[in-house]
Structures are given as C-alpha cells and as structure tokens.
Amino acid sequence: MVWYTADVRTFSAEEYEAAFAMLDENKKARVMRIRQKKDKLRTVVGDKLARDLLARELKCAPEDVRFCYEENGKPYLEGNPLYFNLSHCEDLVVCAISKSPIGIDVEQLRDMPPRLAKKFFTPDECLYIFGHEPKDADWDGSFSPVQRLRFFEIWTSKEAYIKCVGQGLDRLRYIDTLSHTFERHLLKEDYLVTIYQESFGLF
C-alpha cells in the first residue's frame, strides 16, 4: 500500500485545464455541474492524483488510465488488480492505492460537538475518547485537544472502513473501530489521514 497527498493551492490554471482535459465526458459534465470553485478543483486534482499514481504502477501514460464507476459513483479500474481510494478536506487531497481493497479518509482537526460521538460511536469508542465513562456534562461541554484528536481518530477510521468495504454511512454507529487495524498520519495544519485495507502489507 502507498498513499500520497496533493495541495490544491499549488495547482495553476494551466495545470487545472490539462487535468480537466483528461477526464472522460461524463466526469467533465459532473465537474461542470459543481457550483463551488474549490469543490471543482478538489475533484479535478483528485482525478489527476489517482491517474498519475496508477499510471506509475501500471507503467503507462496518465491519459491512458481508464476509470469505470460503480452505481454509487465510486471509481475503479476494470480488469486490473489495483485498488485505489480518494478523500479530500479543505485544501488537501489524498489517494491510496493497493493490491487489496482500501479506504482512506482525511479530516482537519477542528472543534466538534461531543454529542456527535454519542450519536455515531460505540460505548467503547466514547470511553476511549473521554478516558472515562461519559457523563451528561461531557456531552454538553467541549473536547480537550487530546479528546478532539481521539474523536477524529475514530471518525476517520469509520469513514475509511466504510469506503473500503462498501457500506453506507448509516452503518457508522455499528462499526467498532477499536477491533480493527488502521494506519494513521498527522500532517501539517492538523490534518489527520487514516487508512484501512483488508490486508495490510508493503503494497
């Protein structure tokens, strides 16, 4: 397994146009329907990042990489043993590729209401976040820096797991991330990247 990041702020207008030109017609139409400029940029940069990385592994030109799409819009390579997954948050796009199914998620550490943990996390996950059995005051208060980091460890783990196995977001509450193995990286500007794959290895 390998993973890479791209900062959308480093992309020039010329690079954007070149990356946009490589999209298939359906993907171009989807991008054109996106209203927010940053969302357009993240989508195109994500496609370029995945295309460049896959081309390197497949030993072909980036423009020769052909994506197929599942009914939910998730891209894949038809008839190829490589799996890949994308995620983005604010100015950062991340991509992971592997020979086994993989999921990746990135989030920027920020203030979140503790009640989200009560709604979406298991009792053991909440115990891990707070370091004790949560009380009413915990749910109505705010996270300490350590608790906030632990919250996003759990949140990104659930997202990465779901993206790997193909479940819906309605399963968040029932996934016990403490019983699975994840790879995590804390990046500059407090971005947390979490990766899950069915079998961890060098690739």
Which of 75, 99, 123 is the last residue in one of the domains? Answer: 99
* CB contact at 8 A, 1 and 195: yes
Domain count for the chain, please give it: 2
Residue 79 has pLDDT above 80, yes or no: no
> Which of the pair, 199 or 181, is modelled with greater confidence?
181
CA 175 to chain centre: 17
Identify whether 120 is part of a domain: yes
* CB contact at 8 A, 175 and 136: no
* CB contact at 8 A, 47 and 27: yes
Specify whether 132 is located in the same domain as 158. yes
Instruction: Return the bridge partners of 123, or none.
Output: none
pLDDT digits (tens, 9 = 90+) for 120-144: 999 999 999 999 999 999 999 999 9
Identify whether 13 is part of a domain: yes
Residue 203 has pLDDT above 50, yes or no: no
Which of 64, 99, 134 is the last residue in one of the domains? Answer: 99
User: Which residue range forms the structural domain that includes residue 31?
Assistant: 2-99
How many CB atoms lie under 10 A from the CB of residue 114?
A: 21
pLDDT tier for residue 174 given thresholds of 50, 70 and 90: confident
Q: What are phi and psi of 92, to 5 degrees?
A: -110, 135
| Mean pLDDT of all residues in 52-65 | 92
Which of 81, 99, 117 is the last residue in one of the domains? Answer: 99
pLDDT of residue 201: 44
Identify whether 29 is part of a domain: yes
Residue 202 has pLDDT above 60, yes or no: no
Specify whether 94 is located in the same domain as 127. no
Q: By C-alpha distance, which of 57, 47, 60 is closest to 86?
A: 47
Specify whether 114 is located in the same domain as 172. yes
